C-alpha cells in the first residue's frame, strides 16, 4: 500500500486529530458549527436502512424547497425509487413512470399545492460569498462559498448555486419551468457544472452520499434501469421537523464566514511538501456538516 | 420521470443516432477513430468477470508505463485487490500490505526491473493541445485536449496530464520519487485536480469504470477496507499484447485534432435551448474510446 500523501490530502477535511497537538489555524472552533433548522433537513430512507440526509436550500430556491416540503408531508416519495444511475453522471429518484404521447399519464399525481416553477436564478446583488476564490473557472467569472456553506458562482450579471458532486438538483422536462422538486438528482462523478443556470439546486447530500454514489450503474440508455427490480426503493422521505422528537436527527454545518475556513482554503492552495497549483475549484472546497446529539 | 434535457446533455457524447438524420458537425468520421496499440492497453479482470480496461500513457509517463508493463508481464497484480474505496475520492488497487516501523516489510516484492521513479512532469514546450480550451480553471492557466485524446494543463512553465474522473494515477509514499506503478488509483468523484503535478497519470479507464466507481465505500480511515474480505480481488492484469490473439481486445480512441471534435466542444459551449456558460472544464470534455472487432 502506498498512501501517505494521497491520504494526507484527502484527510484535510477530517475531524481534528485526537492527538494533543495544538489546533491548526484551519481547525473549526465550536462557534463555526451552526445548527441546520429541522425543516431544512430531508431524511430519505432507502431500502436496507440506508439513510440519505439532504440539507435543503430555501435561501436560494425557496419555491422548489416549498414544493419539497409539501411532497415530504404528503409522503409522496414513499414507495417510489432511485430509478436512474448513470455512470459518471447522476443518480436520480422519484417516480420512474413517464408519459407516452396519446396515452393517459402514468405519472404519480403531485399534491394539489405542488406547482411547477421556473429554474431558480438570482442576480449579482446576491453574490456575496464569505470566501471568494481567487481564480475563475471554466463556467463562471467568480465563485466562492457563502457564509452558510453553499458553493456559488457568477458571470458578473447572474449568480447561482453550482452543480457539484452531491448537490441535489431538480429534474425537469424540456421546458425550464417544468421542474417541481418531485424528481431529484445528484451528480455522482465529475461536477455537472454544465447544468448550472439551467437547473435548480434544491439542496446538498450531507450524510449517506455513499448510498447513492455506489449504486449499481445501469447500462440502459441514459442510465434508467430497464427493469423495475433494479431500482432502489425509497421507504420514506421526511422533513426532520416532521419526525418525532425522540427519533429526530440534528445536524450542524460548518460556517464559512471565519478565518478558520479561510485558513483551510489556504492550506489547500499551499499544501505542505507539495507543488502548489495556485487555486481551488469551487466544487473542491470541503463543505462539512455533522450529525449532533443523540440519534 | 423527468429527464429530457438532463438526458440530452448527458447523451451529447453518445454514438450517432440510428435515425436517418444527417450527421452533425460534431459526429466523428471513421478516420477520427484511431487504434490504441495493444501494448498500451492494460486489461484488469476483477472477481466476477468484471473487466476494467486502462489505456496507458507512455507518451507522458514513459518510465511509469514501462514499470506497469513489467508488472503486468510478471503477473504481479494477480491475486492482489482493490483495497481502498473512499467516498468522493478514489478507488485504489495493488498490494494492501503496509510497512510497520521496526518490522520486516510485508509488502509484495516488486520485480527486479521495476524501479521507483519520480513523478512525471514535462515542460511547456510539450503543451500542445489540439483543442485548447478558452477559459482557465482554478488549477492551471490553460488547458486542452491533445490530438491523441489526453487532458492536459499548464501554468505557463510546466505542463501535465490532469487528474480527472477515471484517469489512473500512480500512488506513492511521502516522497515524490517513491511511486513505481504497482499501486494505482482513479478518482471516483469530483476530479482530483489538487493532485496535479504531485502525482503521475499513467493511464485512463476506457471500459468498466463502473466496476470501480460503484464499489462499496469503506467507512474506515482513508477508505482502506478494514477487513480483507471487503476487498475486490484482482484475478489478472495483462497487457492486451500479451493476451492470445483470439481473446485479445482491440480499442480505438477518438482523436481530437479535427473539426468534429472542435464542433463537439462548441456544442457543449452553446447547448441548444439552454443558458450557455461560456466554457467547459478540461475534465468535462468527453474523451471517447470504443472496443472494436471481435473480442
What is the rounded radius of gyration, in angstroms, for the C-alpha atoms of chain B? 20
pLDDT greater than 80 at residue A10: no
pLDDT greater than 50 at residue A79: yes
Q: What is the pLDDT of residue A124?
A: 66
pLDDT greater than 90 at residue A179: no
Residue in chain A lying closest to B179 (CA): A2
Q: Residue A222: which of B7, B87, B284 has the nearest Cβ?
A: B7
Average pLDDT, chain A: 91
Q: What is the band of B115 on the pLDDT scale with cuts at 50, 70, 90?
A: confident
pTM: predicted TM-score of the whole model, two decimal places: 0.93
Q: What is the pLDDT of residue B105?
A: 86
Alpha-carbon distance A263 to A267, whole Å? 6
Average pLDDT, chain B: 91
Residue in chain A lying closest to B175 (CA): A5
Q: In chain B, pLDDT over 90 holds for what percent of residues?
A: 76
Q: What is the pLDDT of residue B15?
A: 45
Q: What is the band of B294 on the pLDDT scale with cuts at 50, 70, 90?
A: low
pLDDT (tens digit per residue) in A254-269? 999 999 999 999 999 9
> In chain B, what residues touch A188 (CB-CB under 8 Å)?
189, 213
Q: What is the mean pLDDT of residues A163-186?
A: 91
ipTM for the complex?
0.92
Residue in chain A lying closest to B286 (CA): A88
Q: Residue B189: which of A2, A165, A277 has the nearest Cβ?
A: A165
Alpha-carbon distance A96 to A106, whole Å? 10
Residue whose grid cell is 436520480: A92
Higher pLDDT, B18 or B217: B217
Q: What is the band of A12 on the pLDDT scale with cuts at 50, 70, 90?
A: very low
Q: What is the band of A9 on the pLDDT scale with cuts at 50, 70, 90?
A: very low
Range ranked top by mean pLDDT from A170-184, B53-67, B163-177: B53-67
Cell of A131: 470566501
DSSP state string for B257-294: SSHHHHHHHHHHHS-TTS---S---GGGS---EEEES-
Q: What is the band of B10 on the pLDDT scale with cuts at 50, 70, 90?
A: very low
Q: What is the mean pLDDT of residues A33-51?
A: 98
Q: Which of B26-30, B31-35, B267-271 is predicted least confidently?
A: B267-271
B268·A196 Cβ contact <8 A: no
Closest CA to A205 of A158, A237, A159: A237
Residue in chain A lying closest to B265 (CA): A194
DSSP class of residue B179 equals: B
DSSP state string for A234-272: EEEEEEGGGS-TTT--EEEEE-SSSHHHHHHHHHHHS-T
Alpha-carbon distance A257 to A282, whole Å? 16
Q: What is the band of A42 on the pLDDT scale with cuts at 50, 70, 90?
A: very high
Residue in chain B lying closest to A138 (CA): B279
Q: Which of A127-131, A244-248, A249-253, B165-169 is predicted least confidently?
A: A127-131
- Please, are residues A243 and A294 in contact by the beta-carbon 8 Å criterion? no
Alpha-carbon distance B193 to A135, whole Å? 14
B181 Cβ neighbours under 8 A, 6+ residues apart: B64, B65, B67, B68, B71, B114, B170, B202
Q: Which of B5, B6, B212 to substitute to test the interface with A, most A CBs within 10 Å?
A: B6
> In chain A, what residues touch B98 (CB-CB under 8 Å)?
1, 3
Taking the CA of residue A59 and the nearest CA in chain B, the distance in Å comes to 22
Q: What is the mean pLDDT of residues A104-124?
A: 85
Q: SS3 for A274?
A: coil
Q: SS3 for A202?
A: strand
Q: In chain A, pLDDT over 90 holds for what percent of residues?
A: 76
Alpha-carbon distance B84 to A166, whole Å? 21
Q: Residue B165: which of A190, A199, A209 has the nearest Cβ?
A: A190
Q: What is the mean pLDDT of residues B43-68?
A: 96
Q: What is the pLDDT of residue B14?
A: 46
- Please, are residues B202 and A206 in contact by the beta-carbon 8 Å criterion? no
B271·A155 Cβ contact <8 A: no
A278·B133 Cβ contact <8 A: no
DSSP class of residue B18 equals: S
pLDDT (tens digit per residue) in B129-158? 999 998 889 999 999 999 999 999 999 889
Taking the CA of residue A1 and the nearest CA in chain B, the distance in Å comes to 5
Closest CA to B202 of B189, B175, B184, B177: B184
Taking the CA of residue A30 and the nearest CA in chain B, the distance in Å comes to 23
Q: What is the mean pLDDT of residues A3-26?
A: 60
Q: Residue A89: which of B2, B10, B280 has the nearest Cβ?
A: B10
- Please, are residues B191 and B283 in contact by the beta-carbon 8 Å criterion? yes
Q: What is the band of B19 on the pLDDT scale with cuts at 50, 70, 90?
A: low
Q: Which residues pair with A53 in a beta bridge?
A: A43, A207
Write phi, then psi, for B160 (nearest 5 degrees): -165, 165
Residue A274 to residues B144, B172, B174: CA-CA distances in angstroms? 24, 13, 10
Exposure of B143 in the CB half-sphere (CA atoms within 13 A): 26
pLDDT (tens digit per residue) in B214-232? 999 999 989 999 999 999 9
> In chain A, what residues touch B282 (CB-CB under 8 Å)?
138
Q: What is the pLDDT of residue B101?
A: 82
Q: What is the pLDDT of residue A177?
A: 77
Taking the CA of residue A178 and the nearest CA in chain B, the distance in Å comes to 9
B193·A281 Cβ contact <8 A: yes
Q: What is the pLDDT of residue A6?
A: 46
Amino acid at each position: 500500500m502506498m498512501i501517505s500523501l494521497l491520504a494526507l490530502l484527502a484527510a484535510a477535511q477530517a475531524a481534528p486529530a485526537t492527538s494533543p497537538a495544538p489546533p491548526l489555524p484551519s481547525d473549526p472552533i465550536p462557534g463555526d458549527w451552526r445548527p441546520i433548522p429541522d425543516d431544512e433537513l430531508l431524511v430519505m430512507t432507502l431500502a436496507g436502512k440506508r439513510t440519505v440526509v439532504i440539507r435543503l436550500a430555501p435561501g436560494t430556491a425557496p419555491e422548489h424547497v416549498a414544493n419539497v416540503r409539501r411532497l415530504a408531508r404528503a409522503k409522496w416519495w414513499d414507495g417510489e425509487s432511485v430509478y436512474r444511475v448513470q455512470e459518471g453522471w447522476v443518480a436520480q429518484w422519484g417516480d420512474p413512470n413517464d408519459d407516452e404521447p396519446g396515452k393517459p399519464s402514468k405519472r404519480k399525481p403531485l399534491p394539489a399545492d405542488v406547482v411547477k416553477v421556473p429554474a431558480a436564478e438570482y442576480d449579482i446583488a446576491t453574490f456575496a460569498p464569505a470566501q471568494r476564490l481567487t481564480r475563475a473557472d471554466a463556467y463562471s467569472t467568480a465563485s466562492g462559498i457563502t457564509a452558510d456553506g453553499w458553493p456559488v458562482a457568477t458571470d458578473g450579471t447572474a449568480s447561482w448555486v453550482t452543480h457539484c458532486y452531491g448537490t441535489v438538483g431538480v429534474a425537469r422536462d424540456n421546458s425550464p419551468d417544468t421542474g417541481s422538486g418531485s424528481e431529484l438528482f445528484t451528480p455522482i462523478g465529475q461536477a455537472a457544472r454544465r447544468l448550472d443556470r439551467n437547473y435548480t439546486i434544491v439542496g446538498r447530500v450531507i450524510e449517506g452520499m455513499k448510498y447513492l454514489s455506489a449504486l449499481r450503474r445501469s447500462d440502459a440508455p441514459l442510465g434508467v434501469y430497464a427493469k423495475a427490480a433494479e431500482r432502489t426503493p425509497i421507504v420514506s422521505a421526511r422533513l426532520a421537523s416532521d419526525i418525532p422528537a425522540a427519533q429526530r436527527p440534528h445536524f450542524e454545518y460548518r460556517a464559512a464566514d471565519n478565518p478558520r475556513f479561510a485558513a483551510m482554503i489556504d492550506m489547500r492552495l499551499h499544501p505542505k511538501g507539495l507543488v502548489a497549483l495556485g487555486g481551488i475549484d469551487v466544487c473542491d472546497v470541503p463543505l462539512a456538516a455533522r450529525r449532533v446529539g443523540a440519534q
